[in-house]
Chain A
Amino acid sequence: MYSRAYKTIVSLPPLLWVGFFLLVPYALMFAHSFWLVRDGFLVHEWNLRNYAKLFQNPVYLDVLLRTMRIAASVTFLSLLLAYPLAYFMSFHAGVRKELLYQLVIVPLWVSYLVRGYAWKTILGSDGVLNGFLQYLHITKEPVGFFLYSPFAVVLMLTHIYTPFIFLPLYASLEHIPRNLIEASQDLGASPRKTFFRVILPLSLPGLLAGATFAFVLTLGDFLGPLLVGGPSSIMIANIVQSLFGTAYDWPLGATISMCILLLTVSLLFFTERLEKRWSNR
């Protein structure tokens, strides 16, 4: 079909891009995780001390577990919000489908920071929510735990990542041939049975893809805790950030990054296998 030279020329730019901006940085990170810092200087001395530190100091594992807990909560809550929305839009929205779809997309155009600060003004002690509660005399004093808490982080990240679950979910619901739903009713299945026996199983690949998005993105999030989380909601990416920044311990930062990378890649690998099995039939 195409000559070898043509293929080479066409594939070279993306290969170079991936090489320079992905593979080389990963290799550097991998190398760093085996080096160490002595007296404020990076020493290229191969060792496994960073990995040992990771398992000796309980802080890192604690934070990693908390991060995964937060990611799981965000994923679960986003699913809870996104599934009914996607279901309604796909099956019952009729002509308003397009408009609603745009409304779901619009928040994605707003800067992450802006949305973070918006939550600050809503949740803060003199924020909108507290003001409202006091105005209604539900609370006498501002409620403190709204902001700078894991609650705030989960709330904000749920808001941010719900569209990421919604989009693949909606796409998979839209792809369900409508005659399957008619066939199910025709064979005597009530709407509820049709949902659990046809719609839900057929939307699983989209659900899984969305859940993976939300989980992985939350896992690597550091702005959420920075903006609305307190010390009790530090996440693993915050630790990496401080290790590469103020703490100046690149090797340890790289080690943690490698662990997150491994976790994410194995998760993606696993979900992709599952997704293939569910959609390949």
Chain B
Amino acid sequence: MSQASSSVPPSSVAVPPAGGGILLEVRNIAKRFGNREVLKNIFLEIGAGEFLTLLGESGSGKTTLLRLIAGFEQPASGEIWMGGKRLDTLPAYRRRVNTVFQHYALFPHLTVQENVAYGLRVTGTASAEIPSRVEEALRMVKMLEYSAVRPSKLSGGQQQRVALVRALVNRPQLLLLDEPLSALDANLRKQMQGELKALQREIGITFLFVTHDQDEAMALSDRIALLRNGALEQVASPREIYACPATSYAAQFIGQTNLLRGEIRDGVAVCGSLRWPFVTLPNGPAIFSLRPEAIRFSCDAALPSGSVRFRATIREQVFSGSSEQLEIDCAGQSLRVRIPARGVLFGEHEFAFSPVDVVAVRD
């Protein structure tokens, strides 16, 4: 974040898009387990009605941050505010935040209906109101016919739906979802992703979603907060984080990329045998990210003006239906390329990329 003058956009500023206002503020939160630092000085703001995803590898601290917001863990320092009120000093049961747990955590001794009614019962909702609200909630996820069934008799996807409405029935201001889809098989997962997104749009509740699956994060989120070793790497919309990754880690974690290590000399980026104009950074070593699909086969269509052409040898070719994945060798530098399907290729060819597609990233 120190390179404010660089071509790296100020995307790491954790501010939600305009409109709606800010619902949740995480201010300088740190958390330690023993002497292991799990979260380091996290600042994050979540807008009302937003779908924000905490993305990261296991051990990156994403679940810990979620648990801090839910109230299951206490921060070592820092504050959490929600709707203008201090949240982190309240016990979990006093927070207007509900959670969809990774393994659903449905009460085995209660029926589906009783599970959904639980939150209403314990918070003292008028008992005349409960049945209709439970019914409405179960209808929303098409689980009404399973009202009297115990959770153990349900499939994973069904349990998932019950867990979702159980958390929503209290009408929380913020819904936390802790890898809720990770226990489902691939097909069901895709389907549930769609349902989840549609539901969020419909009810307008703010979602804070935790996942390690970057595709899932891309498909669902308004913004992605990428965590790495307990620190925020970048917070931005999926398109922005893909087009302008702030760091080499972000570039590699979200989508595929080629990381080119080189340097900048008087407005020209030099990287092995490749050079292209790059005026936004001062002289010195630099790392560039170049997406595989940004490299083109130069005999394809018209190249934009200013394209950098280079020759490279094809080392490997993997056909994947509509596109070809190539691994090419450009004077000792290995690059990954994705081009439209065009048949088997051998030997040396000319490739090109446009300098505007190259992004300088921090290490």
A interface residues, Cβ below 8 angstroms from B: 177, 179-180, 182-191, 193-194, 197-198, 201-202, 278, 281
Q: Is B119 an interface residue (CB 8 A)?
A: yes
Q: In the complex, what residues of A have CB within 8 A of residue B72's CB?
A: 182, 185-186
B122 touching A189 by the CB < 8 A rule? yes
A185 touching B105 by the CB < 8 A rule? no
Checking B70, B94, B108, B166 against A281 with a beta-carbon cut-off of 8 angstroms, the contacting residue is: B108
* Cβ of A281 to closest chain B Cβ, rounded Å: 5
Q: Which residue of A lies closest to B98 (CB)?
A: A186
* Cβ of A209 to closest chain B Cβ, rounded Å: 16
Q: In the complex, what residues of B have CB within 8 A of residue A177's CB?
A: 103, 105
Whole-angstrom CA separation of A281 from B153 in the bound complex: 8
A183 touching B92 by the CB < 8 A rule? no
Whole-angstrom CA separation of A281 from B94 in the bound complex: 30
Most buried by B among A188, A198, A201, A278: A188
B92 touching A281 by the CB < 8 A rule? no
* Cβ of B134 to closest chain A Cβ, rounded Å: 13
A182 touching B109 by the CB < 8 A rule? no
Q: In the complex, what residues of A have CB within 8 A of residue B98's CB?
A: 186-187
Whole-angstrom CA separation of A180 from B118 in the bound complex: 12
Q: In the complex, what residues of B have CB within 8 A of residue A183's CB?
A: 99, 101, 105-107
A187 touching B119 by the CB < 8 A rule? yes
Whole-angstrom CA separation of A193 from B119 in the bound complex: 11
Checking A185, A202, A278 against B93 with a beta-carbon cut-off of 8 angstroms, the contacting residue is: A185
**In the complex where A202-B109, A281-B109 touch, is A186 in contact with B99 (Cβ < 8 A)?**
yes
The 7 A-B pairs at the shortest CB distance, nearest first, are namely: A187-B119, A189-B122, A179-B105, A183-B105, A188-B123, A185-B92, A185-B93
A185 touching B71 by the CB < 8 A rule? yes
**In the complex where A186-B98, A188-B122, A281-B152 touch, is A180 in contact with B107 (Cβ < 8 A)?**
yes
A188 touching B93 by the CB < 8 A rule? yes
Most buried by A among B91, B94, B106, B108: B108
Q: In the complex, what residues of B have CB within 8 A of residue A189's CB?
A: 93, 118, 122
Whole-angstrom CA separation of A197 from B122 in the bound complex: 9
Q: In the complex, what residues of B have CB within 8 A of residue A193's CB?
A: 122
B122 touching A184 by the CB < 8 A rule? yes
Q: In the complex, what residues of B have CB within 8 A of residue A182's CB?
A: 70, 72, 92, 99, 101, 105
Q: Which residue of A lies closest to B122 (CB)?
A: A189
Whole-angstrom CA separation of A179 from B166 in the bound complex: 14
B residues 167-196 touching A (CB-CB < 8 Å): 167, 170
